[in-house]
Amino acid sequence: MFTGIVSELGTMAAVEDTDGGAVFHVTAPVTCDGLTIGDSIAVNGVCLTAIAIDGDRFTVEAISETLQRTNLGDLESGSSVDLERPVEAAGGRFDGHVVQGHVDGVGTIQRITSEGSSKRFRVTSPPSLARYLVEKGSVTVDGVSLTITAVSNVADTEPWFEFALIPHTLDVTVLGEKSVGDRVNLEADILAKYVERLMEARG
């Protein structure tokens, strides 16, 4: 389980294509500290497993299914990635919200508007996710836990949502490097999915 609070902005050292998948070598000294083979790491919000560690660099592998359902296939050598290690134990501080690292779909940045030193983003959403996106609710974008500031009508054929980022978030996450047209990984709030399922059972 993750929280959507990015702990480090890593750099893609190399990308190797495999038979239908890809192997990613990521330079990330903070993330590698104490990391062991088999540990989980959220890379742009995608839960992956460390298969090798070499100093300040770790290696993860993604199968074709993962590449098709996320934006990891867009990564290349030199790309920045948001990184987060899983929550270690209960009882401590829990910022962000409950994040599984299971991407629900990929959105596209439609608009970026400067508001002083902050920026407001509008992102298109797959229609299947629109019902889980509510104003003031939570969403994970490329592994970053964010609060939704505005949403389109759930019935819109091209639904969208917006969020605003302060300078700190722009500096320490990959979102600060994004441009209009870039694709981002989306994970809806798991609590919304549970509520929907419970309502179906009652109906």
Check for a shared fold between 8-84 and 105-202: yes
Q: Phi, psi (5° rounding) for residue 193?
A: -70, -40
Residue 20 has a pLDDT of 83
Q: Phi, psi (5° rounding) for residue 19?
A: -70, 85
* Between 58 and 202, residue with greater pLDDT: 58
Q: Measuring CA to CA, how many Å separate 46 from each of 7, 11, 105, 143?
A: 14, 16, 11, 7
Task: State the sign of the Cα–Cα–Cα–Cα dihedral 161, 163, 169, 175.
Answer: positive
Amino acid symbol at 197: R
The answer to whether 18 touches 6, Cβ cutoff 8 Å, is no
User: Which of 174, 182, 170 has the alpha carbon at shortest distance from 81?
Assistant: 174
pLDDT beyond 80 at 94: no
Q: Phi, psi (5° rounding) for residue 77?
A: -55, 130
pLDDT beyond 80 at 202: no
The domain segmentation of the chain, as residue ranges, is 8-84, 105-202
Tell me the per-residue pLDDT of 143-200, one tens digit each, with 9 for 90 and over.
999 999 999 998 899 999 999 999 999 999 999 999 999 999 999 988 878 777 777 7
Residue 162 has a pLDDT of 98
User: pTM score, two decimals?
Assistant: 0.88
> CA 113: distance to chain centroid?
21
Tell me the per-residue pLDDT of 116-133, one tens digit each, with 9 for 90 and over.
999 999 999 999 999 999
Tell me the per-residue pLDDT of 76-93, one tens digit each, with 9 for 90 and over.
999 999 999 998 655 555
Report the topology of domain 8-84: Elongation Factor Tu (Ef-tu); domain 3 (2.40.30)
DSSP strand pairing (46-54 vs 8-17)? unpaired
Report the topology of domain 105-202: Elongation Factor Tu (Ef-tu); domain 3 (2.40.30)
